[in-house]
């Protein structure tokens, strides 16, 4: 077991939320251990380039920011929590600058702000096209500083040999350690290089790992994936809205994963379209404007509406015709219309987000050379899964007047005492869709809030993990060690491989639990998942090595991913409406009367269980209600696909709507 006398808090995860939590704990003088399944500067938020939203522009206000965020989240978020983020955001952006992130500014010293889809004003501060990467690096450097500082005890005396912050890179969370009353007093983790297993004593544990990803060929990374979430679920924590997920209308495909083009392109006026002729053989730049059908530039509903327009178009048999293979593919053209603008200026603003595309992207059939893309010609894009919008249920302390109590130990507390969650492992604070630019600032805010709450819990708690007998830790430690050995030595029959099972799971999830959902298909998917779980149980371990064995953690993570995926499908099955990008043709509208509420799920002995109400450490009865006290929900988009009447009669749009079709409702009959 890791020795400590410093009453430490453990943070699991080294992305923006985890590092923000660790730094906040250090600031409060609370010694912290940061566990990360990879090395710290690699955490995957790096793929999140958009920027940081804050009401810093002229005429903008946190209230407007919150109103936009709630509209894009389709009101499925705690309004007090959303407003608290919007109020904190301007200060957080300055903290980010002070941490060393080179946010772009103007000559007068103010920050340059971009207007991303969903925002009614320019509101997004940014560092080139790689804000997430810069932010992780800056936070990581700051943690290094605290690793050089000594920890102190309650009386302020230095504890020799114990730094304020310690980092454990390549350590993978395996189990939570609970005391006799079910409170979390530490965790067991494994060093993925030496395969050593050991317990960490902790006054509180803050989970800040990734959300569901392994099960979805999503744009999130591979190691650790949703394992922290699975570990917490197995310990009895409740999850929320696991069926909800972001889907990007800008998937580029790719040999190894779905690469996704940043929503930054839309801030620069990109448009999506498909040819009206379903057998269009011309290069995209040769198709005249009148023979294109635009699929809704992202407007006030953010990216979700656009992604949904694509989903619908593809479902109705539109797309791009591939003349070589004579098939219509579920893809659309993304056009930056650069003939109207300065390519050099665009390169400066967008270049970094196209790097991967230029290295690995498809070679579209355009007259322009590939090197000049995307500034000449058009890009082929499809719908790709993004970040999960569900995760562990976490508490939030709102006062009677619906304002936030930021000092409460209740914020970001899970259903287990002493266990906190922030970042993607926690249920998204943004609702059924995140306002582009809110994710990074939301992770930063959530991490800090969770850390403050964990510090308050540690200070207010009568007992301490250091009072626990060592047997509390030794038992789970040996259990994990035994499980690891059993997995490593597992023999099996046949040629089945955990990697094949993972591929099949992701494929099945993509086919039946994407943005388009059908109850019968979801039922079939639940059966498929059960079969895959049974196969995984019988699969031999492909590697017998006792050190740096990557198959053992992979199999462990895959079992967890299956558990999480089953809850997600159970949630999707339950939610009988269409909200955000999620589209159930059998229930095609947003149903606020029935479904403006959370989906609460738990991992029961026999599989996923829907939970109506439950008790948490700080509340005797938590329900699935969503608060709407501060902002009255605006009505959702009208019913689909019965749209033509609405588009022509009610929508306050000029007659030339075909040129700038902004809504999925603007459907035109194909005259091809």
Partner 1 sequence: MAERRLSDKVRVRVLRQDAFDRKDTRRWEEFEVARGERATVLSALRAIQRAPRTVDGRAVAPVAWETPCLEHACGVCTMLVNGVVGQACTSLLDVVAPKGRVSLAPLGKFPLVRDLWVDRQRMTDDLKRVRAFVGYDGSTDALGESPAAQAERLLLASCTSCGACLEACPQYHHDGAYVGAAAINQARLVGLHEGGALDRGARLDALMGDGGIASCGKAQNCVEVCPQGIPLTESLGSVARDTSKRFLFGWLLGARR
Q: How far is the CB of 222 from partner 1 (least distance, A)?
A: 6
Evaluate whether 79 touches 627 at the Cβ level (below 8 Å): yes
Pairing between β-strand 613-616 and β-strand 600-604 as defined by DSSP bridges: unpaired
Nearer to partner 1, 47 or 446 (CB): 47
> d(Cα 394, Cα 618) in Å, to the nearest integer?
11
Angle, CA 405 vertex, CA 401 and CA 409 arms, to 5°: 140
> d(Cα 200, Cα 190) in Å, to the nearest integer?
11
Strand-pairing partners, residue 169, are 36
Q: How far is the CB of 492 from partner 1 (least distance, A)?
A: 14
- Measured in degrees and rounded to the nearest 5, phi and psi for residue 169 equal -80, 150
Q: How far is the CB of 384 from partner 1 (least distance, A)?
A: 12
> d(Cα 249, Cα 262) in Å, to the nearest integer?
10
Using alpha carbons, list the distances in angstroms from residue 583 to 54, 299, 527, 641. 30, 18, 22, 11
Nearer to partner 1, 197 or 242 (CB): 197
Q: How far is the CB of 342 from partner 1 (least distance, A)?
A: 18
Q: How far is the CB of 98 from partner 1 (least distance, A)?
A: 5
> d(Cα 294, Cα 227) in Å, to the nearest integer?
40
Q: How far is the CB of 426 from partner 1 (least distance, A)?
A: 21
Nearer to partner 1, 95 or 610 (CB): 95
Going edge to edge, which strands form the sheet with 239-240? Answer: 391-392, 239-240, 600-604, 607-610
Evaluate whether 242 touches 522 at the Cβ level (below 8 Å): no
Applying CB under 8 A, the residues found at the interface with partner 1 are 23, 27, 38-44, 46-47, 91, 94-95, 97-107, 109-111, 127-128, 130, 133-134, 137-138, 141-142, 144-145, 147-148, 167, 169, 193, 221-223, 254-257, 259, 355-356, 359-360, 362, 497, 499-500, 503, 542-545, 547-548, 550-551
Q: How far is the CB of 141 from partner 1 (least distance, A)?
A: 4
Nearer to partner 1, 217 or 415 (CB): 217
Q: How far is the CB of 512 from partner 1 (least distance, A)?
A: 23
Nearer to partner 1, 12 or 184 (CB): 12
DSSP-assigned letter for residue 224: S
Nearer to partner 1, 94 or 282 (CB): 94
Provide the 10 A C-beta neighbour count for residue 286: 11
Evaluate whether 436 touches 391 at the Cβ level (below 8 Å): no
Nearer to partner 1, 3 or 98 (CB): 98
Nearer to partner 1, 110 or 464 (CB): 110
Burial (Cβ within 10 Å: 0-12, 13-18, ≥19) of residue 451: buried
């Amino acid at each position: 077991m890791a020795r400590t006398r410093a009453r430490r808090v453990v943070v699991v995860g080294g992305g923006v939320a985890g590092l923000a939590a660790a730094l906040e704990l250090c600031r409060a003088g609370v010694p912290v251990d940061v566990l990360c399944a990879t090395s710290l500067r690699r955490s995957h938020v790096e793929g999140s380039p958009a920027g940081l939203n804050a009401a810093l522009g002229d005429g903008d206000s946190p209230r407007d920011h919150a109103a936009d965020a709630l509209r894009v989240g389709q009101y499925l978020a705690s309004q007090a929590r959303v407003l608290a983020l919007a109020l904190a955001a301007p200060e957080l952006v300055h903290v980010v600058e002070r941490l060393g992130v080179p946010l772009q500014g103007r000559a007068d010293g103010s920050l340059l702000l971009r207007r991303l889809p969903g925002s009614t004003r320019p509101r997004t501060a940014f560092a080139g096209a790689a804000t997430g990467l810069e932010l992780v690096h800056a936070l990581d450097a700051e943690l290094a500083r605290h690793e050089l500082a000594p920890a102190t005890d309650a009386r302020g005396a230095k504890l020799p040999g114990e730094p304020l912050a310690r980092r454990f890179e390549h350590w993978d969370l395996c189990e939570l350690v609970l005391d006799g009353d079910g409170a979390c007093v530490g965790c067991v983790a494994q060093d993925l290089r030496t395969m050593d297993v050991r317990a960490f004593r902790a006054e509180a544990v803050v989970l800040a790992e990734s959300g569901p990803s392994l099960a979805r060929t999503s744009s999130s990374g591979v190691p650790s994936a949703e394992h922290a979430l699975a570990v917490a679920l197995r310990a009895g924590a409740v999850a929320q809205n696991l069926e909800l997920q972001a889907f990007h209308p800008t998937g580029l495909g790719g040999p190894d994963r779905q690469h996704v083009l940043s929503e930054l392109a839309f801030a620069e006026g990109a448009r999506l379209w498909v040819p009206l002729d379903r057998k269009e053989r011309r290069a995209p730049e040769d198709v005249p404007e009148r023979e294109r059908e635009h699929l809704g530039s992202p407007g006030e509903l953010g990216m979700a509406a656009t992604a949904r327009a694509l989903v619908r178009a593809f479902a109705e048999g539109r797309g791009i015709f591939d003349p070589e293979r004579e098939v219509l593919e579920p893809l659309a053209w993304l056009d930056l219309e650069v003939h109207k603008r300065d390519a050099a200026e665009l390169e400066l603003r967008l270049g970094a987000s196209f790097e991967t595309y230029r290295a690995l992207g498809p070679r579209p059939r355009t007259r322009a050379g590939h090197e000049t893309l995307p500034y000449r010609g058009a890009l082929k894009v499809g719908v790709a899964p993004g970040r999960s919008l569900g995760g562990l249920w976490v508490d939030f302390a709102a006062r009677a007047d619906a304002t936030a109590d930021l000092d409460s130990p209740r914020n970001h507390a899970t259903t287990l005492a002493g266990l906190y969650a922030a970042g993607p492992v926690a249920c998204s604070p943004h609702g059924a869709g995140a306002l582009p630019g809110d994710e990074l600032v939301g992770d930063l805010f959530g991490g800090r809030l969770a850390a403050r709450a964990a510090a308050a819990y540690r200070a207010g708690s009568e007992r301490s993990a250091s009072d626990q007998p060592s047997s509390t830790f030794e038992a789970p430690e040996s259990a994990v060690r035994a499980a690891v050995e059993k997995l490593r030595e597992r023999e099996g029959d046949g040629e089945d491989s955990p990697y094949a099972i993972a591929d099949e799971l992701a494929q099945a999830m993509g086919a039946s639990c994407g943005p388009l959902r059908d109850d019968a298909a979801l039922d079939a998917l639940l059966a498929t998942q059960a079969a895959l779980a049974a196969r995984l149980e019988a699969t031999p371990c492909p590697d017998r090595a006792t050190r740096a064995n990557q198959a053992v953690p992979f199999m462990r993570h895959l079992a967890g991913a299956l558990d999480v995926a089953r809850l997600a499908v159970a949630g999707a099955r339950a939610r009988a409406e269409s909200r955000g990008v999620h589209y159930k043709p059998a229930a095609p509208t947003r149903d606020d009367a029935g479904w403006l509420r959370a989906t609460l799920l738990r991992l029961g002995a026999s599989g996923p269980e829907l939970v109506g109400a439950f008790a948490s450490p700080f509340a005797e009865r938590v329900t699935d209600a969503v608060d709407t006290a501060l902002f009255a929900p605006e009505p959702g988009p009208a019913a689909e696909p019965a749209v033509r009447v609405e588009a022509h009669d009610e929508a306050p749009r000029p007659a030339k709507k075909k040129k700038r079709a902004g809504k999925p409702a603007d459907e035109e009959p194909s005259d091809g």
